[in-house]
Chains A and B, each alone.
Chain A
């Protein structure tokens, strides 16, 4: 689907890059999935933080993982990105088993990861930040590649010479997403892309993310902000205390009772107090 919009990888060296550029027409695994994580159990120390979680993302799909603080969202994403070893389970990326692979193998297979904080190299300029992503992947940095991400994030074009540490929070987030984009990934994994952003900037970032998966890039997002999650995602999953509690469509996130209970809390529905003030008799009995 939509292969004309998929950016072709201009491989310079390394067998994995060449393999991806050859398979640009049909990048998914045999089951049509870009990412298949099955029965993932992982954690720090003795206690598992994430237990038996399975996640599938197809090309051009966007899956959001929602959950309260400490639910294991970041842990799950770090395990998928290869920064944390799995205890059980399997991770298949573009049909390639990367369960035990180093992060480098995963980036070569087309995954990029944007962590939730410390997302840019502060003392480097915006342009250097973009350039190093291609350097790290062992590919050449061209003005065309930079131009393509600047078309998506025009604000960065005006700030190319500025040290990334002096950017605002929203601009940093955009730079981090742009840096992940410039390697032309098949799968982008983003941890809390809305964190610390004002509502206006959130809307902007959400629109860019929708453009990403419209162009055929699979995205996996961990998010705490339900509004943001429902506006960006297609499929959604609720993670609570390391377990999958609910699966559905992102559009249902704002109304699903299980999500409301896990994230907002039992009996503290927003507006409940106002409802009660307006209509004291109705809520008196309950």
Chain B
């Protein structure tokens, strides 16, 4: 069975994967949430170490900080396109970790230690549930479809009257708040915060989870992070080989199914919605419908005769 440390680790990985899925749906492979996890982690740690405000305030401050900073960051990012936006967010992540390494208040490269411990598993599961619920909402709401439009084709979305900036700002603010929570949950569970925890390599790992799970379907990020995260926890005893094996699994799945596991699931379930109900009611007859209609009419005719 998983230790408590492993549990909270998996929850944090899953929350961060879900948070990175939101900007990705709007066409933005953003590493900014990992930067926000740093902000949340250091913010919560400093509040807990130097003030007596307590854990609730620390967590809320981390989430607010992540959200507000994401909002500020999303405006310069809105001026960039495609790959350049990702590089912009990478620059942000590098700046944050560099600042944490060089500033004295954050303890330099040794980081902050002896942060008070709180059991974050319950609240972590709750926030993860919220994150998955938000992804579900994105899959099933008008706003979510607008975000998907922006992700598919910016110009076409604009010509349909969708605001690129508005959809991207909202998706990044939600992602920032979730990432801020993940950072706070980490420091409150593991007593320590250093610049090496949420760094570029960690971001690459989350991106791998995201691609494995697929951002196109609401359960995708959760599946990807639990599967690959769980695999790496399970294979921990193998040392470096665990990375090789989980990397191999990832490459295999991406070759076999480029849209990720979530994409596979979505395509399976795609027609279980509004459209299918309309089909069943016969609103949009398929090409084979005339035959069906004929057999239906003969059946009713038979009833009339009897």
In the docked arrangement, what's the CA distance between A137 and B160, Å?
A: 7
B275 touches A161 (CB 8 A): yes
In the docked arrangement, what's the CA distance between A279 and B160, Å?
A: 55
A125 touches B275 (CB 8 A): yes
Decide yes or no whether B129 CB sits under 8 A from chain A: no
Known contacts being A113-B159, A157-B284, A158-B286, is A136 close to B275, with CB within 8 Å? Answer: no
In the docked arrangement, what's the CA distance between A108 and B163, Å?
A: 13
A133 touches B160 (CB 8 A): yes
* Pick from B157, B279, B284, B285: contact of A136, CB under 8 Å: B157
Q: Which of A99-135 contact B (CB under 8 A)?
A: 102-104, 106-108, 112-115, 118-119, 121-125, 127-128, 131-133, 135
In the docked arrangement, what's the CA distance between A143 and B275, Å?
A: 9
B156 touches A103 (CB 8 A): no
Known contacts being A135-B142, A135-B146, A161-B275, is A146 close to B284, with CB within 8 Å? Answer: yes
In the docked arrangement, what's the CA distance between A158 and B289, Å?
A: 10
In the docked arrangement, what's the CA distance between A107 and B49, Å?
A: 53
**By the criterion of a CB under 8 Å from any partner CB, how many residues of chain A are at the interface?**
38
Which chain A residues lie closer than 8 Å to B162 at the CB level? 104, 136
Which chain A residues lie closer than 8 Å to B161 at the CB level? 103-104, 106-108, 136-137
B155 touches A115 (CB 8 A): yes
Decide yes or no whether A150 CB sits under 8 A from chain B: yes
Which chain A residues lie closer than 8 Å to B271 at the CB level? 161
Decide yes or no whether B158 CB sits under 8 A from chain A: yes
In the docked arrangement, what's the CA distance between A104 and B271, Å?
A: 30
Decide yes or no whether A19 CB sits under 8 A from chain B: no
Decide yes or no whether A83 CB sits under 8 A from chain B: yes
In the docked arrangement, what's the CA distance between A40 and B271, Å?
A: 46
Which chain B residues lie closer than 8 Å to A135 at the CB level? 142, 145-146
Which chain B residues lie closer than 8 Å to A103 at the CB level? 158-159, 161
Which chain A residues lie closer than 8 Å to B149 at the CB level? 121, 132, 136
From B159, which residue of chain A is reached at the shortest CB distance?
A113
Decide yes or no whether B50 CB sits under 8 A from chain A: no
A104 touches B275 (CB 8 A): no
Decide yes or no whether A49 CB sits under 8 A from chain B: no
In the docked arrangement, what's the CA distance between A16 and B165, Å?
A: 21
Decide yes or no whether B6 CB sits under 8 A from chain A: no
Decide yes or no whether B268 CB sits under 8 A from chain A: no
B145 touches A131 (CB 8 A): yes
B163 touches A104 (CB 8 A): yes
B273-293, CB under 8 A of A: which get 1 and which 0?
001001100011111000000
Which chain B residues lie closer than 8 Å to A123 at the CB level? 152
B160 touches A107 (CB 8 A): yes
B159 touches A83 (CB 8 A): yes
Known contacts being A104-B162, A104-B163, A135-B145, is A121 close to B283, with CB within 8 Å? Answer: no
B145 touches A127 (CB 8 A): no
Q: Chain B nearest CB: distance from A235 CB in Å?
A: 24
Which chain B residues lie closer than 8 Å to A76 at the CB level? none
Which chain B residues lie closer than 8 Å to A115 at the CB level? 155-156, 159
Q: Chain B nearest CB: distance from A213 CB in Å?
A: 20
Which chain B residues lie closer than 8 Å to A157 at the CB level? 284-285
Decide yes or no whether A160 CB sits under 8 A from chain B: yes
In the docked arrangement, what's the CA distance between A161 and B288, Å?
A: 13
Known contacts being A136-B146, A143-B283, A146-B284, is A127 close to B160, with CB within 8 Å? Answer: no
Which chain B residues lie closer than 8 Å to A261 at the CB level? none
B131-159, CB under 8 A of A: which get 1 and which 0?
00000000000100110110011011111
Most buried by B among A106, A113, A179: A113
Q: Chain A nearest CB: distance from B90 CB in Å?
A: 27
Known contacts being A118-B155, A121-B152, A121-B153, is A136 close to B287, with CB within 8 Å? Answer: no
From B285, which residue of chain A is reached at the shortest CB distance?
A157
A83 touches B145 (CB 8 A): no
Decide yes or no whether A70 CB sits under 8 A from chain B: no
Decide yes or no whether A147 CB sits under 8 A from chain B: yes
Top 3 closest pairs, chain A to chain B, by CB: A107-B161, A136-B160, A113-B159
- Which of A's residues lie within 8 Å of B, judged by CB? 81-83, 102-104, 106-108, 112-115, 118-119, 121-125, 127-128, 131-133, 135-138, 143, 146-147, 150, 157-158, 160-161, 179
Other 18 A-B pairs with CB < 8 A, given A83-B159, A115-B159:
A81-B159, A112-B159, A113-B159, A123-B152, A127-B284, A128-B275, A131-B145, A135-B145, A135-B146, A136-B146, A136-B157, A136-B162, A137-B161, A143-B284, A146-B284, A160-B284, A161-B271, A179-B160
26 residue pairs of the A-B complex, CB under 8 angstroms, read A81-B159, A83-B158, A104-B161, A104-B162, A113-B159, A115-B156, A118-B153, A119-B156, A123-B152, A124-B148, A124-B152, A125-B275, A127-B275, A132-B148, A133-B160, A136-B146, A136-B149, A136-B160, A137-B160, A146-B284, A150-B284, A157-B284, A158-B286, A158-B287, A161-B271, A161-B275
